[in-house]
Amino acid sequence: MDVKTWTYIVVGLSFALYIGIAIWSRATSTKEFYVAGGNVSPISNGMATAADWMSAASFISMAGMIAFAGYGGSVFLMGWTGGYVLLALMLAPYMRKYGKFTVPEFIGERFYSKTARVVAVICLIIVSITYVIGQMKGVGVAFSRFLETDYNTGLYVGMGIVFFYAVLGGMKGITYTQIAQYVVLIFAYTVPAVFISLKLTGNPIPQLGLGGSTADGTPLLQKLDQVIQDLGFNEYTTSKDGSTLNMFVYTLTLMIGTAGLPHVIIRFFTVPKVSDARLSAGWALIFIAILYTTAPAVAAMARLNLTETVQTGPVGQAASNLEYDKRPEWFKNWEKTGLLKFEDKNGDGRIQYYNDAGESFKQQGWNGNELVTVDKDIIVLANPEIANLPGWVIALVVAGGLAAALSTAAGLLLAISSAISHDLLKGIMRPDISEKQELTASRFAMVCAIAVAGYFGLNPPDFAAGTVAIAFGLAASSIFPVLMMGIFSKKMNRQGAVAGMVAGMSVTLLYVFQHKGILFIPGTSFLGSMDANWFLGITPNAFGAVGALVNFAVAFAVSKTADEAPQGVQDLVESIRIPSKD
Amino acid sequence: MENEPNLQERRKAYWRANLRILAILMSIWFVVSFGCGILFVEPLNQIKLGGFKFGFWMAQQGSIYVFVALIFVYVRLMNRLDREFNFEDYE
């Protein structure tokens, strides 16, 4: 059977499974729609959280980013896992004890202010929409590349599937589908990694293979360092991402951004008890760590494979460079997509892939790097082909990528629709509607959210790449600090909370916009995205932590100008701090 | 229970103990990631752990394992604390 047939079968089966679960788990009450009835077991919730959290970016892009950044890519690994420690220790148990449906609801009640609730809804919607655009794009791309449909058809199919189980089942449907999606995605990620590790190092466990030795006895990482340094690249195991300060701040931003993402936080409303919320965060991190500790192995091995495919012997001998006519099949496949591009700059019919920033390669007749495009996203997707794995493994990777994108999209859409139906409609505009009406409204809000996400998926704004900075920056600078102060500072009042959120959000948005363009419109970046203009050398993507600091500082300063939180609110804080009812 | 005279005291003591656990665990969290993985990565890279430089290993593998362990230690410590203060959460 060819790869395409396999892909249709595997993707078709996985979709049938998701739809089957949707029909089986219809939501009949708002509690089921918003929090899956509140009786999901900690392990199940951990698995669903892992699928919810790991997006197309984690599945498809992360290993590629690490492959080309080397040690500098560690910010993603530590940032996107370390956030779960914050979540488990400082947010999840207290949010569960509070025991309602949404994050803005907590902020509104804790800060006894509808303004705070509305500001929180706005932050939540900006964060979730920017995040969901990337997922929709991932779905469209995966379909169009592997099923040879056009991008739009792929997107419609993806939207249809999400529509079916998210609108019908709400959080209940999403939870059980996410569990299935986790199984699909983790299997799809680890199977090729095991094969490749076995092939390169003889060790079937990629995490150990990364520290293992290659066939000639040299440690894998030492060999990789050597091979790429010979080609003028920075040493893999030490190359940094900007300054040490930038790595520090970037990691911190990703950590507190992770802990502040509303679609992740609401997953902890679905377990029965406070102790389950703690345990569930632990399980979630185990399930996430399986992928996150495999990713650096995939990254290093893929970089070595790619480099050695092109540079087959010592640098400097003409015969060491791969002849273009002898390039492998996967190379040709990816050239068709435009994600891998070769230009024979010196006209010798061979491929030279190296860092052409220096002059030192000129004398051996090299005339610039000839792999002019090597898209980071091909690392994971092309991995099974590079390693010559059977067709069903490639099909599995496609199903895994789709599972990762769909599960995250569904979680985000639920966060958006519950903020609209529960916080804006029921909480502020029409408090008198019945539960049945609210349930209908939440389904309607879900449909609208899917339509908006789909629209952005069909007309991807130019700023898709920059939006991750916004999503994490805002979650880190607005939502995380306000939740922390709500729990850990009994006396923090509404004036402080609102001022803090607005200040944190504004500073972060301003910094991103002034370097990347106002609303990412090219040409409006009045400071230019260049090192010299960066505040202490901090890149815009890394700025959320600074925004969070501003949020805390402004909140505390402003809170001193007004009365402390009323007694009733302080009692609420005291009660969420202990797990039991009294 | 609601009117127990020393409930306030019990809550305060519980919260103080909780904060102490948080402080210890978050310090470890900071040291393994920001410390070993970023600030002191260069000196730690002088140490070899199999085929790894130790600093690099902490940044890409070790810190993640420690994070997982930290949460499970937290779960155990908090469950014990809940029992000790009689604040367990029955359904």
Per-residue pLDDT tens for B39-73?
A: 998 899 898 888 898 999 999 999 999 999 999 99
Choose among A219, A293, A582: nearest Cβ to B61: A293
Calculate mean pLDDT across residues A194-201. 89
Which whole number is the average pLDDT over A229-244?
A: 84
Which phi-psi region, left, alpha or beta, contains residue A36 (left: φ > 0; alpha: ψ -120 to 50)? left
Which structure tokens are listed for A189? 């990620």
Residues 6+ apart with CB under 8 A from A443: A33, A167, A170, A417
Of A324 and A463, which is predicted with more confidence?
Answer: A324
Lowest mean pLDDT among A317-331, A425-439, A462-476: A462-476
Show Cβ contacts of residue A543 under 8 Å, excluding neighbours closer than 6 positions: A249, A253, A469, A473, A508, A511, A512, A535
| pLDDT for residue A465 is more than 70 | no
Nearest-CA residue of chain A relative to B51? A211
Q: What is the mean pLDDT of residues A491-501?
A: 92
- The chain A residue lying nearest B20, using CA atoms, is A89
Beta-bridge partners for A363:
none
A391 touches chain B (CB under 8 A): no
Block residue for tokens 């019919």? A349
Relative to beta strand A340-342, strand A371-374 is antiparallel
> Number of H helices and number of E strands within chain B?
4, 2
Residue A353 backbone class (left: φ over 0; alpha: ψ -120 to 50; beta: rest): beta
CA geometry: angle B15, B21, B25, nearest 5 deg: 145
Chain B residues close to A281, C-beta within 8 Å: 71
Min Cα–Cα distance to chain B from A39, Å: 10
In this predicted structure, the answer to whether residue A49 has a pLDDT above a threshold of 60 is yes
Q: Please report which confidence band the pLDDT of residue A525 belongs to, taking 50, 70 and 90 as the band edges.
A: low
CB of A417 closer than 8 Å to CB of A93: no
Q: What is the pLDDT of residues A249-294, one digit of tens each?
A: 999 999 999 999 999 999 998 888 889 999 999 999 999 999 999 9
A552 pLDDT more than 60 = yes
* Residue B3 confidence (pLDDT) above 60: no
| A308 Cβ contact list (under 8 Å, min separation 6) | A227
CA distance A243 to chain B (A): 10
Q: How many angstroms away from the CA of B74 is the closest CA of chain A?
A: 7
Where does the pLDDT of residue A154 fall: very low under 50, low under 70, confident under 90, or very high at 90 and above?
confident
- Whether chain B has a CB inside 8 Å of the CB on A211: the answer is yes
Say which residue, B72 or A578, is predicted with more confidence: B72
Is A278 in Cβ contact with B51 (below 8 Å)? Answer: no
Among A303, A330, A59, A301, residue whose Cα is nearest residue A197: A301
pLDDT of residue A213: 85
Does A472 contact chain B (CB < 8 Å)? Answer: no
A122 by Cβ neighbours in 10 Å (0-12 / 13-18 / 19+) ranks as: middle
3-state secondary structure of A534: coil
Rg of chain A (C-alpha set): 25
Smallest CA–CA separation between B83 and chain A, in Å?
10
- Residue B87 to residue A579, Cβ atoms within 8 A: yes
In the numeric block, which tokens belong to residue A554?
A: 């402004």
Residue A27 in contact with residue A440, Cβ under 8 Å?
no
* Comparison of pLDDT for A65 and A145, the residue scoring more: A65
Residues 438 through 467 of chain A touching chain B, CB cutoff 8 Å: none
C-alpha to C-alpha distance for A468 and A452, rounded to whole angstroms: 18
**DSSP H helical ranges for A338-488:** 378-386, 391-418, 435-458, 467-474, 480-488
Identify the burial level of A183 via C-beta atoms within 10 angstroms of its C-beta, where 0-12 means exposed, 13-18 middle and 19 or more buried.
middle
Q: Does residue A527 carry a pLDDT above 80? A: no
Cβ of A570 under 8 Å from any chain B Cβ? no
Q: Is residue A121 scored above 60 in pLDDT?
A: yes
Q: Which residues of A touch B83 (CB under 8 A)?
A: none
Interface of A with B in 77-96 (CB under 8 A): 77-78, 81-82, 84-85, 88-90, 93
pLDDT of residue A28: 78
The pLDDT tens digits for A77-98 are 999 999 999 999 999 999 999 8
Q: B-chain residues within 8 Å CB-CB of A207?
A: 61
Residue A357: other Cβ atoms inside 10 A: 9
